[in-house]
C-alpha cells in the first residue's frame, strides 16, 4: 500500500457495521430480528480501500469495542499521511473509541490530532437541550421535495471521565427534520431530531454535517457491494458443495 499511496497526505476512516441475515445453526439473534452476523468494516475514504474489518456474531452489540477496529484501520495507513479524520454512526459514540480519538498521545495508534464526527446516541438530557433551542437559532441545512432539515450548535456537555476531564470538550450539532405541508412522520411526530458529536470546532455546522454525510456514499456503498454484488449477503451453509447423500460434487 505505501507505494500505491505515496502521494496521499489525507486519510479519512469511515467505519460502520452491517447485519447479514443467516439461517445457519450457529447464527445468533440480531438487533433487527431474525438471526445472522454483524461484521464491522473500516474504509479509507479517499482511496476507497477497506483497511480493517471484524466479522462478528449477530448478537455482538455495535458498541462492543469499536476502538479495536479503528486502531487496526489507522495502523494500516502509510507514513506519508499528515491529516487524519474519522466518521461513524451512533455505534461509534462509545467512550473507549472517542477517548482514544481525542488523545493526541494515544496508545496503539498514530500520534497527533484526529478530527472526527459521529452520530450521537440520543438521551433525555440531549433531547431536552435540543428542544429548548429558540426557533430563530435554527439554520437551513438541506431541503428536498418532502422535508426541510435545519441545524444548530447546542450547549450539551455531559460529564467527562477522569481521562478526558481536562481535554477540550466535544461539540454537539443538532439536526431538526420537518416534513413540508405540516405532515406527520409515520410515528405521529411532527419533528425528528438527531445530533452529531465532533472535535472539529472551526468548521461551520452545515459544512461539518455535509462532510459527515459523505460516508453514505463510501462505507455504506461497500456494504451494498459486498452483500449484493459479491454475494456476501448469502453465506454458504455447512453442506456447501455436497449432494443430499453427503458426497462431494465433482
User: Does the domain spanning 1-119+218-250 belong to CATH 2.120.10?
Assistant: no
Which pLDDT belongs to residue 244?
45
Which pLDDT belongs to residue 83?
96
- First and final CA of the chain: distance in angstroms? 39
Q: What is the pTM of this model?
A: 0.88
Would you say the C-alpha torsion 63, 66, 67, 68 has a positive or negative sign?
positive
Contacts from 144-147 at CB under 8 Å and sequence distance 24+? Answer: 145/180, 146/179, 146/180, 147/177, 147/178, 147/179, 147/180
Question: What are the residue ranges spanned by the domains of the chain?
Answer: 1-119+218-250, 120-199
Contacts of 70 (CB under 8 A, 6+ apart): 13, 15, 42, 52, 86, 92, 97, 100, 101
- Spell out, as residue ranges, where the chain has pLDDT lower than 70: 1-6, 237-250
Cα 225–114–218 angle (5° rounding)? 15
The total of other beta-carbon atoms located within 10 Å of residue 200's CB is 19
Would you say the C-alpha torsion 130, 134, 139, 143 has a positive or negative sign?
positive
Which pLDDT belongs to residue 4?
57
Which pLDDT belongs to residue 211?
96
Which pLDDT belongs to residue 140?
92
CA distance 108 to 2: 19
Point out which residues pair with 176 in neighbouring strands. 150, 193
Point out which residues pair with 150 in neighbouring strands. 140, 176
Q: Which three cell numbers mark 75? A: 495502523
CA distance 140 to 180: 14
Would you say the C-alpha torsion 31, 36, 42, 46 has a positive or negative sign?
negative
9, with CB counted inside 10 A (0-12, 13-18, 19+), is: exposed
Which pLDDT belongs to residue 199?
97
Amino acid at each position: 500500500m505505501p507505494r500505491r499511496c505515496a502521494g496521499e497526505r489525507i486519510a479519512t476512516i469511515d467505519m460502520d457495521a452491517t447485519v447479514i441475515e443467516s439461517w445457519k445453526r450457529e447464527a445468533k439473534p440480531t438487533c433487527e430480528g431474525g438471526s445472522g452476523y454483524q461484521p464491522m468494516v473500516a474504509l479509507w475514504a479517499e482511496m476507497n480501500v477497506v483497511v480493517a474489518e471484524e466479522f462478528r456474531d449477530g448478537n455482538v452489540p455495535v458498541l462492543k469495542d469499536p476502538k479495536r477496529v479503528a486502531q487496526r484501520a489507522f495502523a494500516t495507513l502509510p507514513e506519508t499521511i499528515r491529516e487524519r479524520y474519522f466518521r461513524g454512526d451512533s455505534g461509534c459514540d462509545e467512550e473507549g473509541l472517542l477517548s482514544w480519538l481525542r488523545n493526541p498521545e494515544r496508545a496503539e495508534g498514530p500520534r497527533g490530532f484526529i478530527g472526527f464526527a459521529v452520530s450521537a446516541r440520543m438521551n433525555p438530557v440531549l433531547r431536552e437541550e435540543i428542544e429548548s433551542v429558540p426557533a430563530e437559532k435554527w439554520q437551513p441545512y438541506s431541503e428536498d421535495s418532502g422535508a426541510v432539515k435545519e441545524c444548530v450548535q447546542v450547549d450539551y456537555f455531559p460529564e467527562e471521565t477522569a481521562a478526558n476531564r481536562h481535554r477540550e470538550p466535544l461539540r454537539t450539532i443538532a439536526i431538526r427534520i420537518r416534513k413540508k405541508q405540516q405532515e406527520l412522520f409515520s410515528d405521529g411526530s411532527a419533528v425528528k431530531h438527531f445530533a452529531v458529536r465532533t472535535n472539529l470546532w472551526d468548521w461551520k455546522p452545515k459544512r461539518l454535517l455535509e462532510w459527515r454525510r459523505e460516508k453514505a456514499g463510501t462505507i455504506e456503498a461497500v456494504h451494498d457491494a459486498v452483500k449484493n454484488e459479491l454475494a456476501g449477503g448469502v453465506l454458504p451453509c455447512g453442506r456447501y458443495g455436497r449432494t443430499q447423500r453427503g458426497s462431494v460434487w465433482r
